[in-house]
Amino acid sequence: MSVDPMAYEAQFFGFTPQTCMLRVYIAFQDYLFEVTQAVEQVILKKLDGIPGCEISPVQIRKCTEKFLGFMKGRFDSLFGKMEQLFLQLVLRIPPNVLLPEDKAQETHPCGEKEFQLLQREIEELQERYKTEARAQQALLAELEEQKIVQAKLRRTLALFDELENAGRDQGTSDFRESLAFLVQNSRKLQNIRDSVEREGKRLKVS
């Protein structure tokens, strides 16, 4: 098999010429094996109809394998020449022929320096894309954090609404008055708790 990758031909055919020739080779090998087996079966049936035949099936199998090896060797020799002809004259695109998608190279030829500049520009664009992708990920993470903060803010505002409603129930409509009322009640409850704790300690001591 040829070691030339023939990439331009693969672009046109959709497969490498070497792959095509390999499939032809394998197909012929399979066909040769099937035909040899069929011939062997016919010979064995013919021998069964001959009375007193001294040729055994084992001998037939040895002859079949020998014939198969001979045919395979001949085909390998011929196939090597056929492969060279096909790869050079049939499956090869001439060097002066451009595929339709490459016709732009005729009007806009690209030299080695220009090609290097294009390569560098592609690398820069790839790096810029990666940077923008990372920035987008950071923005998405920040957006998730903002959603969490907004949820906490909603809960806080809901709590303030509950405090204001509680103040209205107590006869205070101003939020500051409601908050002062709650603080005052909280202090009263704390004083009662302290008194209970002191009384409990006194009773334990007595």
For the stretch 124-146, pLDDT in tens is 999 999 999 999 999 898 888 88
Q: Predicted confidence band at 54 (pLDDT cuts at 50, 70, 90)?
A: confident
Interatomic CA distance for residues 61 and 44, integer angstroms = 10
Q: 36-48 pLDDT, tens per residue?
A: 999 889 888 888 8
The CA distances from residue 27 to 39, 76, 84, in Å, are 18, 13, 18
Question: What is this structure's pTM?
Answer: 0.46
How many other CB atoms are there within 10 angstroms of residue 202's CB atom?
Answer: 9
The CA distances from residue 173 to 154, 166, 179, 187, in Å, are 22, 9, 11, 21
Dihedral angle sign, alpha carbons of residues 133, 138, 141, 143: negative
Which token pair is 128? 């810029």
